[in-house]
Chains A and B, each alone.
Chain A
Amino acid sequence: MSDVSQTHASLAPSSAQKFRQRFLPFLVFGAILLLIPMTDPSRTMYALMHQMAIYIVFALAYNMLLGKGGMLSFGHAVYFGFGGYLCMHAMNWIEDGGVWGAFPTFFLPVLGFVGGAVSAVVIGSFSTKRSGTTFAMISLGVAELIFAGAFMFDSLFGGEQGISGDRMNGPEVFGLSMGPQSDIYWFMAFWTILSVIAMYAFTRTPLGRLSEAVRDNPQRVEFIGYNPQRVRWLVFSISGGFAGLAGGMSAVNYEIFTPEALSLIPSGFVLIMAYVGGITYFAGPIMGAVLLTYMSSMMSDFTEAWLLYLGLMFVLIVMYAPRGIAGIVFGFWDGIRGANSAELLRKWAVQLLGCLLMLIGLIILVEVSVRWSNGWGEAFEPFGLHFTHADIVTWIAIFVPIVAGGYVLRLATREKEEMPA
C-alpha cells in the first residue's frame, strides 16, 4: 500500500520513452523502405514486396476489427474487393479521359478507401448490431452472398474475366510513370507508410480506445454513456476503408480485379495472417503479413505442402501461442531483459530443441508423403540425404525425432509445473 500516493502523472511515460515506443519504430520502418531500392532488387523481389505492402495494410485493417474491436469477420475481403473494383473502374475512366483524365493513378487508393468505407457503412449498418459469433456468421453470409451475386453483374464485376485496366494513364506525380516495378515500389512505400501511421494514430484516438473497451466489456461502455453498436459500426467502417485502400493498392499493382477477390479465400487468408502475426500487438499483423506472403510465394517453390505447414502453424498458434509471433518475439525480448534471463533462456532453449526435433520428423513425414502421393517415384532429398516411403530408415528418421521432441517438451512443461508459481 506504499504507492497510494502515486499520481497519474508519474505513471505517464517520459518523453524519451514516448519517442522510443511511438516514433522510433516508424522511423526505422521508413528508413528500411528507403534503403531497399538501393540493393537493386530483382523483379521477383519487387513483386514480393508489393504483395507484402498490400497485405500489411489489409491485415492491419483487419486487425482493427479482430484485435482492437473483437469482431471476428470471415468476409473482410468484400471491402478490399469493393475498394479495388472502384479503383479498377476509375483506372478505366482515367484512360477514357474527360474529367477523370486529370486524376493521377497514384492517388487511386484514396478512392479505394472511399469505396471500402462506403460499402462497410452500408453493410455494417446491420451486421455490427451484434458481436461475437453472430457477427462472424453475418460476415460469412454477406461475403458468400456478394461473391455469388458478383457473377450476375458483369458491368460492375466483369464476370469470370474480371475488370482489367492500364495504370499508365493520367497525369504523372512525383515523376513516376507507374509503368516499371521500381516506380510502383515508391507508390507502395508511400501508401504503406501513410496507412500504417494513420492506423496507429487511430488506436490513440478516443474512438480507438473505446473500441477496445467495447471489445472487453460492452455493457460498461453503455453505462458510461456510449452506444457500443455505434462504436462497432464506426470502427467497422474505418476498417473497411483501409481494407479498400489495400484493394486500391492491389488494383494498381495487378491491373486486374476478379470476383475471387471478394470470396472467402482471401478473407480467410487475411484472418490467418493477422492471427499468426499476433492480434494483441499493433505490429503483429505486419509480421504476419510479411511472413505469410513470403511463405506463400517462396515456400511454394520448395514444397507442394506449404499450405499444410501454414494450416499446422495456424492451429498450433491458436492452441499454444494465442498471442502470435509478435507475442513470442516480444516475450523473448522482455525475457532476456528481465531479472532471471539465464533461467528463461535455458528453458526456451530446451523448448526450442523439442520443437525443432518434432519439426524435423514432421517435415520428413510430410515431404515423403507428398512424394509418395504424387506417385512419380521421387525421393525426398534434403542435404544429400535420401528418403523414400519404402525405406525403414525413413520411418526411423520420422518417428525418432518426433518422439524425442515430444519427450523433451513434456520434460520442459513438467519442470515448469514444478516451479513455484
Chain B
Amino acid sequence: MQTEEISRQVREFIEENFLFQEEAELADDESLLDAGLVDSTGILELVAFLEGTLNIQVADAEIVPENLDSINAIVAYVTGKLAAAPAAAAVAA
C-alpha cells in the first residue's frame, strides 16, 4: 500500500472517531494527546483499526507516542511495519 493511501485512511479514521470540532484542523505533525483528542480507550481503538484495516501486528512495546501520537508518526510506523513484512502487505493491498 502506498504511503499516500495509508495517510488518507489514517486521517479519515482519526477525523471520524476523534475529531469532534468541525472547524478544527489537525496538522499532520500535531500531537493527538496534546490536542486532547485521545485517551486510553481511544488509543486502543486506533490500534484495533491499524491491526484490522491496515493488517499489521502491533506489539505492546510499540504502543508509544513516537509511533502513534500524530498522523505523521502513525503513517511512518505503519509504512515501516508493512515494509518489514512484505507478505502481509501483499495480502492487504
Do the two chains belong together in a single complex? no
